[in-house]
Copies of this chain bind each other. A is one copy, B any other.
């Protein structure tokens, strides 16, 4: 945890990945993030993966680290009023609401605005019109699963990584802080809507893919080959697989030299009338000629042999690892990565979990804050945000409006 956002209060009413990961990023940069949930938990409270032999969600406790939790009866009008009051509480450092609740209803921007005119609401959505969509359905709609996977198989390949959700979380955090910068200059709030569908459509536009298909049609599926330069997976002599990428001239030269392929490549260049080091496109266009040379070179070598040579030669490469291999053996990613701290989580399990992906050089990382138990901060939030005294809080419990 770092202190970039210390002093801010964000209220989160959100489930699944995009919204909660936004709140997580904000919390891990120092904001007080108060998450409200229905009593008993929201729709993601028991989402898999679970702790073995338990219904404690490793997913929920991963995405809600460092937040405060208040549990409210959100089905009742009085409970809903409480949630709205918390989201719209006064103060220059508050009035920041993050949600994936529907556009209309008791947590609509219009409803919140009647309580606090300068509220900033950030709403992660499916489609812009409010219709439901998830990462996986959006991905299918923009064509990524049809571009992904082996060339000799035309079935769509869904991604396992919910990339649009993750992108949505980070982009929502950017939108929230940006809107706060404006509010501090002008006093104006903002209603910000971030549909996953628009994240996907804009991303494919930004990378040139929309222009590409309009100009040239769909790009054929090309398996693991990198588009427009040199890159692919190769099988080494020890049975391990590596990925190697050469986009810049230096990456290419380092690779060719390290594998002892300079003579073969020069001969091929003479035959084809090209210079691969100068022309990344030639490396792609002639990949059917290049790949056999590389396949043979990798087949003769083990990862243990390649590692020091590749690292010395500045080659951009990596071994394919399973996640478990990486988590249990990879010092840079996990086992000796200062981003991770081993703590005991609400599930009762003790395991390493991550702070912010960013490192602020020269600034200490505060101890990792774990996820709350559901309702752990109910009384504290009612007192500190709404100013309720212990009698008023007790009455809310008696009426089962909070837990």
Contact = CB atoms under 8 A, between A and B. Distances in A.
Nearest to A20: B206
B233 A325 contact: no
A175 B28 CA distance: 11
A300 interface: no
A261 B15 CA distance: 28
A155 interface: yes
Contact of A245 (B57, B137, B314): B137
A39 interface: no
B171 A228 contact: no
A217 interface: yes
Contact of A167 (B65, B170, B351, B352): B170
A376 interface: no
A78 interface: no
A242 B167 CA distance: 24
A323 B142 contact: yes
Interface residues of A, number: 161
A202 B326 contact: no
Contact of A48 (B132, B284, B334): B284
A241 interface: yes
Interface stretch (A187-195, A265-273, A379-387, A388-396): A187-195
B166 A201 contact: no
B243 A333 contact: no
Contacts of A171: 25, 170, 173-174, 357-358
A147 B323 contact: yes
Interface in A148-200: 148-150, 153, 155-163, 166-167, 170-171, 173-175, 177-182, 184-185, 190-195, 197-200
| Oligomer: number of copies | 2
> Looking at chain A's contact residues, is the secondary structure mostly helix, strand, loop, or mixed?
mixed
Contacts of A227: 48-49, 160
A107 interface: no
A260 interface: no
A259 interface: no
A204 B323 contact: yes
Nearest to A332: B127
Given A4-B182, A6-B182, 20 more contacts: A4-B179, A16-B247, A25-B171, A47-B228, A50-B281, A62-B211, A129-B332, A134-B245, A134-B247, A141-B333, A149-B157, A160-B227, A171-B358, A177-B181, A193-B361, A198-B354, A202-B339, A211-B349, A213-B323, A215-B349
Q: Which 9 A-B pairs give the minimum distances between C-beta atoms?
A: A48-B228, A143-B323, A58-B208, A163-B163, A137-B318, A205-B354, A49-B212, A170-B170, A202-B354
